[in-house]
């Protein structure tokens, strides 16, 4: 008997293997439905937001996108687990779509593993994802373009991650930021202080310290000269978002101050304005690792910024060189108004010079640190660059622009010996010169001030509001025109409240100007008569021409506002409208079409649609192919002479009676009990007893029967969970498979039935399919039939509608049992359609009821 | 020519003939009568009898129009259960003597119409074989007073042969 037992056991094992496979597939399937639901919800919400009737911020886009990505990736993983390698092409499709999304809204990448430090000579632009684009660009200038860049090295994003992980900082930081109200500058400042203190109190891990120190030593900084500077180079910075001046640069550091300065730059990632910038551009803090560049200081005699094009006027064929004396910080921080040299891009001749008053400069001290120094009076008004230097700088700048194929914003310095150095190069955003919508007689309006320098074009009006320090920022009212002597760091935090901005000093090359252009706040600097702009004075600022008009002038705003200056033209709407075409359009509509393929998925919605459809099919066929299911089942005991074996896929089956049976009342499966109550409602035909046969000699078989006894005798079976069932019913000579999911979430709900065969001749079977199709259509089912085969489904209906439909389907199952036999003509079929519709309560209203 | 004709040649194949499962109601059986027609050689006729099968597609009996009418007859008219076989000495109730309310009658008939066809069907007494000669068919019809006979082929019902078709066949020879 041993062989018999082993045979039996191996059979049992393969059955339970088969069950555990189907259970795990069911898990995948449920997860797909869940992810599908999540993704669809976010998609429709984003579409609604893009219509422009609701307020949202960039954080919303970030989170939504991250959630959709997670949901779609999960769907794909589960789809492959459920249906196998056939679905691998989905990964490729996802990657393509995701790349498109990343180009529009960068971020969301993992920090790549790399060395902790890498010298500029081994860097190029492709390393931007590891070291940040600022440093990667310096590497590109050094290694590919052989441009004069001071020696230096990158401290990578991987090093940052090591520092954060080592000190277990991420959760603490995220908690602080998530709880933040970005509308309050003082809150921002408090949170920022807390995070920065936290970071400063942490230890840089030993291996990272060693690596930084080793790389530093390779720079051979002399003991008596000036040191290095550490600059932030956040991963993701300068790609889509400039982060201009948001992060820290520490000038002139040496030896022992190196490691604390590294921490300081890292902590600078969390300064108030940087957090604001991050959140207001919906960039996730955790995705932006802080790379740091360490570079030998240039003892700058003069320095500045080159714009290879005029950033406020794309039609101007000039290259602009901004220049001040000493270190460049006074320029980018807007403390000194620079000289501006307008150079003709074609022949490198100077078209025009704006020479400014330069009373002070910043210098590096030999022992480390920097100091402000007064400029001798005879030099204050002199051009800071010679014509020769201008030509040299212009030539270099155009070479760099040519290399990148895009206008550049280049920081440069010239040391005491006249040597040129490049300190940074990044893409320059060039604004189109706004064209006035209509001609208007400007002389009719009284100008308060003229001759301001346009640094961010546009027109805006409101009451003037003067501030002089970051302490005043919280009190800046919405819709005001901010008037300030110079730019200071926190201003970015109130940008979205401003209708216009006026500063006394600064310039087109300051970080504030870059930010103002990004936020589209009309901005001018250095206007005449600024002292007349007292608090509450209503003014209209035409920042495209540098004029301030008295009063709020709606006609002027209407006439001069750039044509496309609508709500939807703001960055955030532009962003969502650029993203949506890769997310929401649905190309894969009908599973019957030959184009319904993984390879044809063009959007995330296509992928979710495809997975949803195919997962139902995989589950359906998977469930009908369970091996030896009888040995794993419990039997359903009912009044109906229909043997149904039940297989629980989400739990152990409930207790059975001695014969291994359970009753309908003990089944905890909403779809099965719903369906069964429909069957029970109609009752099952009871064969006539012997007395009814009245001498009847016995039944006579017909030549109609197909398949024979074997088919007829096969048990029905169901796989069930609390919210799901797949029921394979043998109903005489036809079989029907009904799958249903009923949950409180409409998107998850569906019913699917496949119906095939029958005992009667083909034309009667086809008539029955017609009948069922017509009735189910009235319940909202979508039908796909071929001859006597029907595949029909109802999806996305709410819980009660789905239940009602499933209950009716149970009734219909009994009502159409062997109905094919009776369908001898089309007329009788029509009669039955009407009759059954009435029975099921879906008969069409009489025409006069409609009116 | 007549000697060549067999039951199989003269029958209406089952798939052309109206039939229903036994649990169908009298109402459904009536719908079957009212909506079916049989087309033989371009001649359309209405069925006089429908066949009743079980779920295994085995022939159980047949129902004629008068069987259905009998089944619809309310008990207060017949005085007997419709299931009660008619006996020789049963005394009928004269419908004219009953107190008749039209509404009451209609209601009763509608209720009756929901009873199963298996309650009123009559059993199959005789069958003929597919290869049986027409004379054998005529003999069975006359001696058993039947207007229709199921035709068996290899142990299964293949169709039915009706007296009207036999009559037609014989008439071709005589007139």
CB contact under 8 A, A703 and B32: no
Q: Find which of B35, B149, B155 to mutate to test the A interface (most A CBs within 10 Å of its CB).
A: B35
Q: Find which of A708, A822, A827, A838 to mutate to test the B interface (most B CBs within 10 Å of its CB).
A: A822
pLDDT tens-digit series, residues A749-773: 889 888 776 777 778 888 888 999 9
- The beta-carbon neighbor of A692 closest among B15, B24, B118 is B118
Note whether A704 contacts B: Cβ–Cβ < 8 A: yes
- The beta-carbon neighbor of A702 closest among B14, B61, B118 is B14
Listed residue (A82, A158, A75) closest to A117, CA to CA: A158
Q: Find which of B12, B57, B115 to mutate to test the A interface (most A CBs within 10 Å of its CB).
A: B57
**How wide is the angle at C-alpha A709 spanned by C-alphas A708 and A713, nearest 5°?**
135
Domain boundaries, chain A: 11-80+582-622, 117-290, 300-415, 444-561, 633-686+705-845
- The beta-carbon neighbor of B31 closest among A700, A817, A828 is A828
Give the CATH superfamily of A117-290: ATP-grasp fold, A domain (3.30.1490.20)
Listed residue (A805, A806, A754) closest to A779, CA to CA: A805
Q: Per-residue pLDDT for A381 more than 70?
A: yes
User: For A5-9, A228-232, A303-307, A621-625, which range has the lowest pLDDT when averaged over its residues?
Assistant: A5-9
Q: How far, rounded to the nearest angstrom, does the alpha carbon of residue A703 sit from its chain's CA centroid?
A: 64
Q: Take residue A37 and report the two structure tokens written for it.
A: 């639901």
**Whole-number pLDDT of residue A110:** 63
**Whole-number pLDDT of residue A743:** 92
User: For A20-34, A712-726, B102-116, which range has the lowest pLDDT when averaged over its residues?
Assistant: A712-726
How far is the CA of B56 from the CAs of A282, A820, B153, in angstroms? 68, 13, 17
Note whether A222 contacts B: Cβ–Cβ < 8 A: no
Q: Take residue A468 and report the two structure tokens written for it.
A: 């002089």
- The beta-carbon neighbor of B28 closest among A696, A822, A824 is A822
**Whole-number pLDDT of residue A302:** 93
**Whole-number pLDDT of residue A7:** 39
**Whole-number pLDDT of residue A138:** 92
Note whether A713 contacts B: Cβ–Cβ < 8 A: no
- The beta-carbon neighbor of B20 closest among A687, A822, A835 is A822
Q: Per-residue pLDDT for A20 more than 50?
A: yes
Residues with Cβ within 8 Å of residue A116, at least 6 apart in sequence: A155, A156, A158, A159, A162, A207, A208, A211, A212
Contact list, A827 vs chain B (CB under 8 Å): 35-36
**Whole-number pLDDT of residue A91:** 92
**Whole-number pLDDT of residue A244:** 58
A464: enclosing H helix or E strand: strand A459-466
Q: Find which of A686, A688, A702, A771 to mutate to test the B interface (most B CBs within 10 Å of its CB).
A: A702
Note whether B81 contacts A: Cβ–Cβ < 8 A: no
Beta-sheet strand order (sheet of A228-234)? A117-119, A152-155, A290-296, A228-234, A249-253
Contact list, B36 vs chain A (CB under 8 Å): 824-825, 827-828
CB contact under 8 A, A701 and B56: yes
Contact list, A640 vs chain B (CB under 8 Å): none
- The beta-carbon neighbor of B24 closest among A695, A763, A822 is A822
CB contact under 8 A, A686 and B23: yes
- The beta-carbon neighbor of A702 closest among B24, B35, B58 is B58
Section A639-657 average pLDDT: 77
pLDDT tens-digit series, residues A248-273: 788 888 888 899 999 999 998 888 87
Q: Per-residue pLDDT for A685 more than 90?
A: no
Note whether A847 contacts B: Cβ–Cβ < 8 A: no
| C-alpha to C-alpha distance for A763 and A240, rounded to whole angstroms | 66
The residue count of chain A comes to 851
- SS3 labels along A379-429: HHCCCCCCHHHHHHHHHHHHHHHHHHCCCEEEEEEEECCCCEEEEEEEECC
Q: Find which of A640, A683, A688, A838 to mutate to test the B interface (most B CBs within 10 Å of its CB).
A: A688
Fold adopted by A444-561:
Glucose Oxidase; domain 1 (3.50.30)
**Whole-number pLDDT of residue A847:** 42
> Considering only alpha carbons, which residue of chain A is nearest residue B27?
A835
CB contact under 8 A, A712 and B56: yes
What's the mean pLDDT when you consider all of chain A?
81
**Whole-number pLDDT of residue A75:** 95
Which domains does chain B show, CATH number per domain? Answer: 2-174 (3.10.580.10)
Residues with Cβ within 8 Å of residue A250, at least 6 apart in sequence: A229, A230, A231, A261, A264, A265
- With a cut of 50, list the residues of chain B below it in pLDDT: 1-2
Yes or no: domain A300-415 corresponds to CATH 3.30.470.20: yes
Chain B nearest C-alpha distance from A762 (Å): 9
A143 DSSP 8-state letter: I
Note whether A822 contacts B: Cβ–Cβ < 8 A: yes
Q: Per-residue pLDDT for A90 more than 90?
A: yes
Listed residue (A6, A8, A10, A31) closest to A619, CA to CA: A31
Beta-sheet strand order (sheet of A661-663)? A661-663, A634-637, A644-648, A716-720, A724-731, A734-741, A750-757, A789-795, A782-786
Contact list, B119 vs chain A (CB under 8 Å): 688, 692
CB contact under 8 A, B59 and A699: yes
CB contact under 8 A, A705 and B85: no
Size of interface A-B (CB pairs under 8 A): 120
| C-alpha to C-alpha distance for A96 and A100, rounded to whole angstroms | 7
Q: If pLDDT is split at 50, 70 and 90, which confidence band does A5 have?
A: very low
> Considering only alpha carbons, which residue of chain B is nearest residue A830?
B35
Listed residue (A640, A644, A734, A757) closest to A687, CA to CA: A640
Contact list, B37 vs chain A (CB under 8 Å): 825
Listed residue (A84, A74, A72) closest to A21, CA to CA: A84
Q: In this structure, are residues A279 and A59 in contact, taking their beta carbons and an 8 Å threshold?
A: yes
CB contact under 8 A, A705 and B57: yes
**Whole-number pLDDT of residue A335:** 81
Q: If pLDDT is split at 50, 70 and 90, which confidence band does A311 have?
A: confident
Q: Per-residue pLDDT for A623 more than 70?
A: no
Q: In this structure, are residues A450 and A546 in contact, taking their beta carbons and an 8 Å threshold?
A: yes
pLDDT tens-digit series, residues A316-329: 889 999 999 999 88
Section A120-143 average pLDDT: 87
Note whether B86 contacts A: Cβ–Cβ < 8 A: no
CB contact under 8 A, B123 and A694: yes
Q: If pLDDT is split at 50, 70 and 90, which confidence band does A614 have?
A: confident
Contact list, A692 vs chain B (CB under 8 Å): 83, 118-119
Burial class (CB in 10 A: 0-12, 13-18, 19+), A244: buried
């Amino acid at each position: 008997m041993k062989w018999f037992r082993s045979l039996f056991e191996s059979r049992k094992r393969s059955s339970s293997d088969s069950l555990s496979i189907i259970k795990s597939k069911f898990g995948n399937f449920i997860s797909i439905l869940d992810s599908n639901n999540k993704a669809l919800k976010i998609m429709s919400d984003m579409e609604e937001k893009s219509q422009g009737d609701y307020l949202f911020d960039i954080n919303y886009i970030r989170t939504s996108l991250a959630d959709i990505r997670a949901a779609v990736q999960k769907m794909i993983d589960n789809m492959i687990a459920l249906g196998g390698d056939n679905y691998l092409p989905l990964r490729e499709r996802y990657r393509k779509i995701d790349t498109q999304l990343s180009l529009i809204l960068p971020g969301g990448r993992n920090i790549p593993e790399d060395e902790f430090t890498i010298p500029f000579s081994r860097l190029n632009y492709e390393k931007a994802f590891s070291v940040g684009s600022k440093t990667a660009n310096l590497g590109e200038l050094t290694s590919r373009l052989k441009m004069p860049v001071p020696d230096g090295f990158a401290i990578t994003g991987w090093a940052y991650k090591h520092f954060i992980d080592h000190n277990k900082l991420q959760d603490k930081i995220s908690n602080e930021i998530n709880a933040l109200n970005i509308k309050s500058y003082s809150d921002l400042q408090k949170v920022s202080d807390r995070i920065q203190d936290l970071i400063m109190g942490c230890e840089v891990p030993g291996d990272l310290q060693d690596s930084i120190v080793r790389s530093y030593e390779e720079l051979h900084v002399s003991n008596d000269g000036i040191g290095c500077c550490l600059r932030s180079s956040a991963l993701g910075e300068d790609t889509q978002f400039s982060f201009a001046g948001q992060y820290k640069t520490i000038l002139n550091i040496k030896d022992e101050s190196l490691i604390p300065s590294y921490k300081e730059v890292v902590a600078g990632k969390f300064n108030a304005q940087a957090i604001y910038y991050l959140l207001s551009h919906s960039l996730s803090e955790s995705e932006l690792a802080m790379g740091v560049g360490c570079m030998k200081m240039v003892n700058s005699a003069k320095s500045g910024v080159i714009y290879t094009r005029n950033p406020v006027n794309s039609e101007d064929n000039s290259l602009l060189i901004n220049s001040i004396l000493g270190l460049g910080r006074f320029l980018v921080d807007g403390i000194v108004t620079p000289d501006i040299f307008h150079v003709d891009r074609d022949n490198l001749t100077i078209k025009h010079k704006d020479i400014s008053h330069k009373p002070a400069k910043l210098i590096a001290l030999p022992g480390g640190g920097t100091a402000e120094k007064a400029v001798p009076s005879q030099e204050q008004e002199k051009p800071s660059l010679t014509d020769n230097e201008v030509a040299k700088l212009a030539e270099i700048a155009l070479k760099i622009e040519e290399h990148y194929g895009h206008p550049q914003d280049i920081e440069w310095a010239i040391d005491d010996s006249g040597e040129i150095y490049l300190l940074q190069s990044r893409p320059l955003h060039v604004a189109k010169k706004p064209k006035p919508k209509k001609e208007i007689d400007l002389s009719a309006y009284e100008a308060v001030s003229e001759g301001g320098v346009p640094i961010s074009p546009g027109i805006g009006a409101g009451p003037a509001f003067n501030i002089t320090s970051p302490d005043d920022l919280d009190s800046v009212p919405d819709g005001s025109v901010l008037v300030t002597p110079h730019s200071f760091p926190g201003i970015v935090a109130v940008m979205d409240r401003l209708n216009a901005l006026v500063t006394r000093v600064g310039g087109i090359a300051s970080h504030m100007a870059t930010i103002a252009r990004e936020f589209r706040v009309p901005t001018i600097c250095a206007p005449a008569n600024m002292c007349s702009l007292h608090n509450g004075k209503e003014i209209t600022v035409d920042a495209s021409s540098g004029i301030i008009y008295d009063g709020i002038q709606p006609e002027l705003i209407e006439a001069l506002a750039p044509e496309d200056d609508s709500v939807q033209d703001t960055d955030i709407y532009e962003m969502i409208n650029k993203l949506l075409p890769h997310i929401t359009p649905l190309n894969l509509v009908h599973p019957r079409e030959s184009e319904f393929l993984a390879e044809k998925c063009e959007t995330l919605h296509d992928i979710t649609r495809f997975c949803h459809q195919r997962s139902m099919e995989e589950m359906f066929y998977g469930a009908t192919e369970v091996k030896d299911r009888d040995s794993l089942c419990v039997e359903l005991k009912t009044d109906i002479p229909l043997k149904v074996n039940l297989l629980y896929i989400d739990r152990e089956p409930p207790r059975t009676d001695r014969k291994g049976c359970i009753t309908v009342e003990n089944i905890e499966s909403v779809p099965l009990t719903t369906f069964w109550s429909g069957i029970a409602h109609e009752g099952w035909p009871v064969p006539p007893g012997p007395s009814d046969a009245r001498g009847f000699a016995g039944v006579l078989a017909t030549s109609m029967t197909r398949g024979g006894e074997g088919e007829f005798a096969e048990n029905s079976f169901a796989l069930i969970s609390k919210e799901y069932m797949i029921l394979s019913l043998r109903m005489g000579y036809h079989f029907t498979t009904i799958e249903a999911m009923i949950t409180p979430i409409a998107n998850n709900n569906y019913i699917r039935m496949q119906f095939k065969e029958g005992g009667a001749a083909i034309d009667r079977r086809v008539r029955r399919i017609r009948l069922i199709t017509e009735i189910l259509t009235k319940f909202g089912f979508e039908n796909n039939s071929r001859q006597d085969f029907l595949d029909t489904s109802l999806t996305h209906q709410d819980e009660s509608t789905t239940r009602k439909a499933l209950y009716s389907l149970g009734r219909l199952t009994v009502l159409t049992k062997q109905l094919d036999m009776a369908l001898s003509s089309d007329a009788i079929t029509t009669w039955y359609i009407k009759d059954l519709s009435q029975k099921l309560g879906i008969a069409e209203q009489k025409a006069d009821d409609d009116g | 020519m007549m000697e060549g004709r067999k039951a199989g040649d003269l029958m209406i194949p089952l798939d052309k003939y109206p039939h229903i499962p036994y649990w169908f109601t009298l109402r459904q059986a009536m719908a079957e009568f009212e909506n079916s027609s049989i087309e033989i050689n371009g001649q359309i006729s209405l069925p006089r009898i429908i066949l009743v099968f079980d779920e295994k597609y085995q022939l159980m009996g047949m129902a004629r129009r008068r069987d259905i009418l009998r089944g619809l007859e309310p008990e207060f008219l017949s005085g007997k259960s419709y299931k009660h076989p008619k006996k020789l000495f049963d005394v009928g109730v004269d419908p004219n003597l009953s107190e008749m309310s039209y509404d009451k009658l209609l209601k009763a008939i509608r209720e009756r119409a929901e009873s199963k066809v298996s309650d009123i069907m009559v059993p199959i007494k005789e069958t003929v074989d597919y290869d049986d000669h027409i004379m054998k068919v005529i003999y069975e019809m006359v001696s058993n007073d039947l207007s229709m006979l199921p035709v068996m082929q290899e142990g299964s019902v293949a169709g039915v042969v009706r007296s009207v078709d036999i009559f037609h066949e014989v008439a071709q020879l005589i007139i």
